[in-house]
Structure 1
Amino acid sequence: MNTIKIFSLAAFFLFSSVVETRAQSVPKSTFKLDVGTETMLALGTKNRDNKLGYGGTLRLNYGLTDKLTLTLTSGYYNYLKTGPLKTFNDNFQVIPVKAGLKYFFAPQFYINGEGGIAFTRTYQNQINSVATGGIGWVYKGLDIGARYETLNGSRGANFNSVGVRIAYGFKL
């Protein structure tokens, strides 16, 4: 019985968000600032020392068209070290600086891609290239997205993760 109630509620919520006629994209030639919180999970055996991550980001959106948005994103990620933690510096810390595009393929639903650099702070400070691809949903300022992100280190080390971002946008 509970499964039917949950499914019905989810279907109603999805249907009501899709039926709305106006897109939640950034209108052409306008700016929007998103403030978001992030939760990430590192993938692969190379990343076994730092699995769970959290952080915050700011994303500046500029409407190129009514469906296409230019994005500039920066923030801070902290991947927690598993096992005994000696100091906060044992964590894997990342400051990404990314530019990209967000395309609204349906009202309130988008795909996005970003690329840029990431400054990492561990026992070896590095500058890495970063690439991100994801999908998301926007409704009345709320922006919920999922993404895959990869950092390519200057010493050949890669760090891959999946993440969820929950943000709220303000028109500028």
Structure 2
Amino acid sequence: MKHLFLSFFILTILCTMAAHAQTPSTWRVGFGIDAGVSTSDAFKYALGADIRVQKDFTQHLSGTFTTGFSHFFEKDHFANYTQYGSPYNVIPVKLGVKYFVANNLYLGGEAGAGFAFEQWGTSFLWSPSVGLAFKNGIDLSLKYEDYTKDKATKNIALRLAYGFGARRLASHKTAGNGSKDLELGISINPGVNIESADNHILGGDVTLYKPLSDNVKFTVSAGYTHMFKSYYYSYGLTDAAGNNYINNNSTVKNVIPVKVGLRLYLADTFYLGGEAGVGFATKRNTSFVYTPSLGFQLKNGIDVGVKYDNYSSRLIQDALSVKLGYHFKLNK
């Protein structure tokens, strides 16, 4: 899981470095829904929704980044499959490619990770597909999705999506038509623990934004996050003498993250972000933290997005949160 999001953070930086060499019209954003059937007897159907960012490299080849949410409906309350206990709810995060073999017909392939709730945990994910993409923005495809951690979590689904050129998202420059004004952002961030959806999380942060170009901003942020539940955690340790023993502790409830990062605007409002820093927690715990994000910043200052906070410490819970914020200009 950590390697995937570190890769995403590096990808954000690489996109930033190449931003001036890209043609804005080659970026596309799509919203899709998919419905399918499970290939195992433990589940019946699967239903999901996603958002996809697509970059056209050539006339025939495109790269994709996709994330969303999928739910597998259990069959007969898991009759004969009592080991599962709960439905499969998962957040897939994937990188992939599309290759157009004709004007509309394409072959696709994606790989990444699925972050599932409750006992399911994190799984490697791969997904081949074949589809038709039309000039009016409609994208229809048939895909096979395999969450490899368990043989029951696989499905064949039909995906219907609508995509549009990223520049159609709004009619203004995000950075203020060349403005280098500093911005101060304030947000609240409700969310859930990535390992247990019944543990709610509430946070807030203050972020300073410094435009580096029309579509890149440097960020410095600090905030506060509260986890409403803590968990008893046991793990093995080996001391300097080679003795093994079990350490028992509980996860912390309060964290102050301090981070720096970059925000890349792929369109006038749509952005990808990456941050890294230190989380200062109660009980004198500190942890490295990194945060990939995506969202929309509107002309009126409203900022709505989704972010994932990953802490390297076992005692600080990872969080998937919605970001609801507002930006103020400081150099008027």
Given the two structures, how large is their TM-score scaled by the length of structure 2?
Answer: 0.40
Post-superposition Cα deviations, 1:100-141, rounded to whole Å, max 9, x if no partner, equal 0000001100000000000011xx321100000010101110
1:58 to 206, 225, 228: 206
| 1:43 is the counterpart of 2:194 | yes
> Does the 8 Å contact 2:228/2:253 carry over to 1?
yes
Which structure carries more relative contact order (alpha carbon 8 Å, separation 6+)? 1
Determine the structure 1 residue equivalent to 2:295: 136
Question: How well do the aligned residues superpose, as a CA RMSD in angstroms?
Answer: 2.7
Q: Which residue of 1 aligns with 2:253?
A: 92
Answer yes or no: is the 8 Å Cα contact 2:252–2:316 preserved in 1. no
1:34-57: per-residue Cα shift (whole Å, max 9, x none)?
A: 011111211126xx8x82111211
SS of the residue 1:18 aligns to? helix
Contact between 1:18 and 1:108, CA under 8 Å: does it hold in 2?
no
Query: Tell me, what secondary structure is at the counterpart of 1:64?
Result: strand
Match of residue 311 from structure 2: 151
Larger C-alpha radius of gyration, 1 or 2?
Answer: 2
1:101 aligns with 2:262: yes
User: How far apart, CA to CA, are the structure 1 residues paired with 2:222 and 2:306?
Assistant: 16
State whether residues 25 and 108 of structure 1, in contact with CA within 8 Å, keep that contact through their aligned partners in structure 2. no
The one of 268, 281, 284 aligned to 1:125:
284
What CA distance in whole angstroms lies between the structure 2 residues aligned with 1:19 and 1:110? 11
Per the alignment, residue 174 of structure 2 pairs with: 24
2:272 aligned residue: 111
SS in 2 for 1:23: coil
Task: Label 1:34 to 1:92 Cα distance change in 2 as closer, same or farther (>3 A).
Answer: same
Amino acid at match of 2:297: V
Deviations 1:74-102 (A, max 9, x none): 1111110279xxxxxx9610100000000
- 3-state secondary structure, aligned to 2:292: strand
Work out the CA distance in 1 between the residues paired with 2:186 and 2:321: 16
1:134/1:19 Cα in 2 relative to 1: closer, same or farther (>3 Å)?
Answer: closer
CA 1:126 to 1:82, structure 2 compared with 1: closer, same or farther past 3 Å?
A: closer
> CA separation in 1, counterparts of 2:195 and 2:230?
14
**TM-score normalised by structure 1 residue count:** 0.75
What letter is aligned with 1:113? G
- 1:19 deviation in Å? 5.0
- What corresponds to 1:164 in structure 2? 322
**Partner AA of 2:191 in structure 1:** M
**1:8 — aligned with what?**
none
Give the unaligned 5+ runs of structure 1: 1-13, 84-89
Q: Per the alignment, do residues 149 and 113 of structure 1 end up closer, same or farther by CA in structure 2, a change over 3 Å counting?
A: same
CA contact 2:252–2:315 (8 Å) conserved in 1: no
**Distance (Å, rounded) in 2 between the aligned partners of 1:51 and 1:93:** 14
